[in-house]
Amino acid sequence: MKCDEAQELITALVDKQVSDQERSSIESHLKDCQRCRFIYEREQALKREIGAAGARLHAPAELRSKILSDRRIFPGPERSSGSWTERIFPAWLFARPALALALAVVLILPILYFMRSPSEPISLAALEIHKKIIGGEISVQKTSNLDELRKWQIRAVDGEFAPMEYDLSSMNMLPAGGVVEEINGRKMLVTVYAGNGLSVTCFTFLGTEEDAPKIASVFFDREKKMKFYSFSKDGFNAVLHREGSIICILVSNMSGDQLLAMVRAKVQPS
Ligand SMILES: [Zn+2]
């Protein structure tokens, strides 16, 4: 099975709507393909999140009992005829705007929840983590031995991916340490570079360009055919880019333009 075939079936697999034959061929693909496995795991997590959101969402008790006890909405067994739209949106509802509005809110909230980017917090969390590292609230494994740090980080994600590395020695910045952080069940490999009054924290994790926050401004590098997403918060600047299924976010006290120029210079298109 190829990736595009597998990806077409992933939603069906999450919803347990595949045949046994489809299941076994997609499962054997997922075993070998990290990228599709990541998409599958993300869909599963999203489904769990939606389920949990639905469970947290409660209509006011009075409205709830009104809706549930209304035979025109939920007819008893003797009156189960009529289409589901007639049952769910009976004509009387439109004559009672307040109740109709309340019902719409109850129905629409989960949809809005679904439309919300599920992964937006991870990129903004990176800025937060950088701030905490600089402020000493998160302690990193201090080492200038990048190989040692790298091996430790790769083990922390069971060898699924490796941290992205940058040689910033030309800017007098050297690796200072690293840590592994988990945001919404996703592991990020974090490497800190420092020197010359500057610091850069590099976050590597499995993801897609959807992990860029909506506030980001997008820069398309024609030569490298890559998109770079710049965003800032609390005086720190960040640039996100994707290499295959790996997302890299660099956060720094450098100016946004300087950081973007640096990332573009270091990145090799995959
Ligand atoms: Zn695949």
pLDDT at position 86, please? 56
DSSP secondary structure code for residue 90 in this structure: -
215's tokens: 């506030």
User: 160: CA distance to ligand 1 center in Å?
Assistant: 14
User: 27: CA distance to ligand 1 center in Å?
Assistant: 11
User: 34: CA distance to ligand 1 center in Å?
Assistant: 7
- The overall average pLDDT reported for the chain is 83
Q: Which residue has the tokens 């004509």?
A: 91
pLDDT at position 47, please? 83
Burial, 65: exposed, middle or buried (Cβ in 10 Å; 0-12, 13-18, 19+)? exposed
> Considering the chain, what percentage of its residues have pLDDT values greater than 90?
44
Question: Is the pLDDT confidence value at 117 over 60?
Answer: no
Identity of the highest mean pLDDT range in 37-46, 109-118, 133-142, 199-208 = 199-208
**Alpha carbon distance 263, 248 (integer Å):** 10
Alpha helix (H) residue ranges in the chain: 3-14, 20-32, 34-56, 61-69, 84-88, 91-94, 97-115, 120-134, 146-156, 256-266
User: 30: CA distance to ligand 1 center in Å?
Assistant: 7
Question: Is the pLDDT confidence value at 218 over 90?
Answer: yes
Interval 170-201: pLDDT, tens = 889 999 999 999 988 899 999 999 998 999 99
**Alpha carbon distance 137, 238 (integer Å):** 20
> How many residues in total does the chain contain?
270
156's tokens: 């922390």
Task: Tell which wins on pLDDT, 120 or 124.
Answer: 124
User: 128: CA distance to ligand 1 center in Å?
Assistant: 33
Interval 60-69: pLDDT, tens = 677 777 767 7
User: 28: CA distance to ligand 1 center in Å?
Assistant: 10
Question: Is the pLDDT confidence value at 114 over 80?
Answer: no
User: 29: CA distance to ligand 1 center in Å?
Assistant: 6
Q: Classify 180 as helix, strand or coil.
A: strand
Interacting residues of 130 by C-beta distance below 8 A, sequence separation 6+: 201, 236, 238, 251, 252
Q: Which residue has the tokens 């997403």?
A: 229
Question: Is the pLDDT confidence value at 162 over 90?
Answer: yes
Question: Is the pLDDT confidence value at 83 over 60?
Answer: no
User: 11: CA distance to ligand 1 center in Å?
Assistant: 14
**Alpha carbon distance 22, 1 (integer Å):** 10
Tell me how far CA of residue 222 lies from CA of 226, 228, 267, 269, in angstroms.
7, 11, 13, 11
Residues facing 180 on adjacent strands: 189
**Alpha carbon distance 188, 70 (integer Å):** 50
**Alpha carbon distance 209, 249 (integer Å):** 11
Q: How confident is the model at residue 28 (pLDDT cuts 50, 70, 90)?
A: very high
Q: What average pLDDT score do residues 215-230 get?
A: 93
Q: Which residue has the tokens 């909230």?
A: 109
Q: How confident is the model at residue 80 (pLDDT cuts 50, 70, 90)?
A: very low
pTM of the full structure: 0.58
Beta strands in 132-209 (DSSP E): 141-142, 174-183, 186-195, 198-206
**Alpha carbon distance 244, 230 (integer Å):** 19
- The answer to whether 165 touches 171, Cβ cutoff 8 Å, is no
User: 33: CA distance to ligand 1 center in Å?
Assistant: 5
